[in-house]
């Protein structure tokens, strides 16, 4: 079936899938011998007329592109990324396993200064939240995961996070494991109330309170 309709279909598919505009020669090379590429291009061009896309010639080659009058649709939209960046993924992993965890602790594991941006992204995505303040000097803010995190990863609760056994079963942990290596069980951290204070969102972080607390200790 080397008829004109078939040639048109082929050109349509080739132009669509090509990473760059194709010349008449490029097309002819990939089509059956004797195909009238020029005529097919003209026919296709007409067929596209008035559609959402059009066939245009650029620098002697052909490409399919969206109709010029629809350019307004193509406004760039910066959505939250569908996949987390590597840095965000890593930071999220540490928070998930070590929560409640302070920023300094995250940095200690990651070996890089957690860029403020990474944590912000996770907070903004709603995967991570501020949990409270550690009862240590400086009272650093601690971070933990949210219900949304559980939903996103299809977990009923934190105890469902795969642990060391699962990692071993998957071959993620092999024999040259550092001695004493362990993976914390974040489900045990759920009532960390004895090591941290709830975050007071009212901004009632009065210094007196700290003073009092230190006195109690």
139 lines the binding site for another protein (CB under 8 A): no
State the residue for tokens 């993620």.
Answer: 172
- Binding positions for another protein, 22-41, rule CB under 8 A: 22-23, 25-26, 29
Nearer to another protein among residue 9 and residue 29 (C-beta): 29
**Per-residue x/- marks for another protein, 76-95, CB under 8 A?**
xxxxxxxxx-xx-xx-xxx-
Site string for a copy of itself, 81-110 (x = CB under 8 A): -x--------------------x-------
Q: Collect all residues with Cβ–Cβ distance below 8 Å to 24 and sequence separation of at least 6.
A: 37, 38, 41, 62
Helix (H) or strand (E) holding 201: none
Applying the rule CB under 8 A, the residues between 166 and 185 that interact with a copy of itself are 166, 169-171
Among 80, 116, 175, 207, binds a copy of itself (CB under 8 A): 116
Nearer to a copy of itself, 38 or 214 (CB): 38
Q: Which of 19, 16, 17, 14 is nearest to 30 (CA)?
A: 14
CA-to-CA distance for 44 and 105, rounded, in angstroms? 61
Please give the structure tokens belonging to residue 106: 């995250």
Q: Residue 72, by phi and psi: left (phi above 0), alpha (psi -120 to 50) or beta? A: alpha
Closest CA to 15 of 72, 64, 59: 64
**Token digits of residue 3:** 């008829």
172 binds another protein (CB under 8 A): yes
The residues binding a copy of itself (CB under 8 A) are: 8-14, 16-20, 30, 50-53, 64-67, 70, 73-77, 82, 103, 116-117, 119-120, 123, 130-133, 135, 139, 141, 144, 153-156, 159-160, 162, 166, 169-171
């Amino acid at each position: 079936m080397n008829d004109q309709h078939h040639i048109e279909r082929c050109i349509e598919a080739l132009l669509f899938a090509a990473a760059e505009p194709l010349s008449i020669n490029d097309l002819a090379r990939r089509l059956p011998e004797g195909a009238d590429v020029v005529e097919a291009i003209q026919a296709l061009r007409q067929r596209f007329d008035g559609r959402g896309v059009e066939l245009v010639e650029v620098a002697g080659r052909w490409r399919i592109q969206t109709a010029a009058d629809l350019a307004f649709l193509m406004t760039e939209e910066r959505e939250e990324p569908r996949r987390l960046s590597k840095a965000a993924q890593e930071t999220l992993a540490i928070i998930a396993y070590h929560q409640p965890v302070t920023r300094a602790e995250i940095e200690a594991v990651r070996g890089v200064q957690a860029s403020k941006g990474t944590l912000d992204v996770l907070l903004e995505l709603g995967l991570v939240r501020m949990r409270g303040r550690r009862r240590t000097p400086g009272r650093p803010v601690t971070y933990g995961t949210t219900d949304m995190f559980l939903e996103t990863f299809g977990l009923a609760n934190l105890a469902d996070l795969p642990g060391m056994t699962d990692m071993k079963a998957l071959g993620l942990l092999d024999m040259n494991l550092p001695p004493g290596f362990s993976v914390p069980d974040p489900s045990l951290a759920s009532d960390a109330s004895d090591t941290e204070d709830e975050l007071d969102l009212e901004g009632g972080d009065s210094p007196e309170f700290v003073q009092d607390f230190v006195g109690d200790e």
